[in-house]
Chains A and B, each alone.
Chain A
């Protein structure tokens, strides 16, 4: 910063100490949302990918519709629809439930496409080999198809989880008290918007780097045994 010059605006960071609890709570909420969104979202994604590739035909149309709808509308609007719109249809979810639902639904749709691509790259011979060992289709899916598919697409899936974590910043719009909410709350009290946003953007950067590393390690742990193919 070019100090000493006649600056109309003086940067000030002493507020960090005062508002540390608010920031820490925001970080905790962002992490909690991401954990739930990633866990349940990947389960939903796997289910959808299974339906699209090998599941019952009558279920494929609704799954395709769900995936297309979510992938082609903004997360913010999905969130508003769930939080503000659904109560008039009789379903009222609190801000944390609505935020979690939106994240699960979102990652479910994106993850389904990624996992499907991984499944479709499975060589046919492996499936046939599995079936010839008298495994059921579901067993083949679980033991022969899914494992190598997940290993193949884990990097893409990890990126998507990071994208969903960063995308969760808009849940502050429905008063869920995540890290972005913390930033907006603090700046509404002390009007130090630049400093607050600057600090919070660095916190997000750190979270993204840590999350990516954690997912990489998890991937190595989960899929390292025997490099198939």
Chain B
């Protein structure tokens, strides 16, 4: 009885999975043909992507998305995503590009392609002023909150001592709430993210403890899209030399782009 039910469920599950058969055409042609590019952006990651009281996305990543759309001469459809679903959005062709402060690693490069870097991202460990933490070794025995899958999660996992507890939250809302409510003593996040929180005068102040590293952000796109990749890289290169990207950096990060980006 139960075995038959289980078998039935398995068949149904496989049928469900069998629906999966992706469409394929050169993405750049599809975008230009439709006159619209769909770009995934963060909505809980100030100043890269956040929402105003009107719940509309705004931030560094959104400005870069609009810049790329302008240069392609197409309309931009902004699609707010979380760190958990941004890549599935891309893989299911729900978006054409992911501009969501994406970090790269070897495992990820097997699955999607990355553009040239478009933003600096200095991530570090932050905590209350009285926490005596000056480097990775001081994390021993401490609890650090981080957003699962974010650049700083990948870096922190590499450098944290074994006795440190890393708590990984679904999204930045969760990470920040966990810090502010005292559920974790420290957080690993971007310096600009911490600065944006400080600016809003929170009940607990995330002061900088130490910098993990500068790991820049990249635009993510599907594999085997050489034309789209080349165009995006060309647009980013031009934006860097024309100063357009620097203007975005000054607006949202309050600083010039680093020379080596």
Contacts and interface: CB of A to CB of B under 8 A. Distances in A.
Q: Do chains A and B touch in the complex (CB under 8 A)?
A: yes
Contacts of A194: 17, 20, 88, 91
A198 B16 CA distance: 10
B173 to A, nearest CB: 9
A80 to B, nearest CB: 8
Interface string B85-98: 00110010000000
A171 to B, nearest CB: 11
A8 B153 CA distance: 29
A185 interface: yes
Interface residues of A, number: 38
A202 B149 CA distance: 23
B174 A174 contact: yes
A8 B108 contact: no
A1 B222 contact: no
A87 B183 contact: yes
A1 B18 contact: yes
Given A84-B181, A95-B167, A174-B169, A188 B84 contact: yes
Nearest to B222: A8
Contacts of B223: 8
A87 B182 contact: yes
Contact of A92 (B13, B18, B182): B182
Contact of B178 (A8, A9, A175): A175
Contacts of B167: 95, 175
Contact of A9 (B22, B154, B174): B22
B22 A8 contact: yes
Contacts of B6: 205-206, 209
Q: Which 6 A-B pairs have the closest CB atoms?
A: A188-B149, A191-B111, A87-B181, A175-B167, A8-B22, A193-B88
Interface of A: 1-2, 5-9, 83-85, 87-88, 92, 94-95, 172-175, 181, 184-185, 187-194, 198, 201-202, 205-206, 209, 212-213
Given A2-B21, A85-B181, 6 more contacts: A1-B17, A185-B148, A187-B87, A188-B84, A193-B87, A205-B6
11 contacts: A6-B24, A8-B24, A83-B181, A92-B183, A172-B170, A175-B145, A175-B169, A188-B149, A189-B149, A191-B112, A209-B2
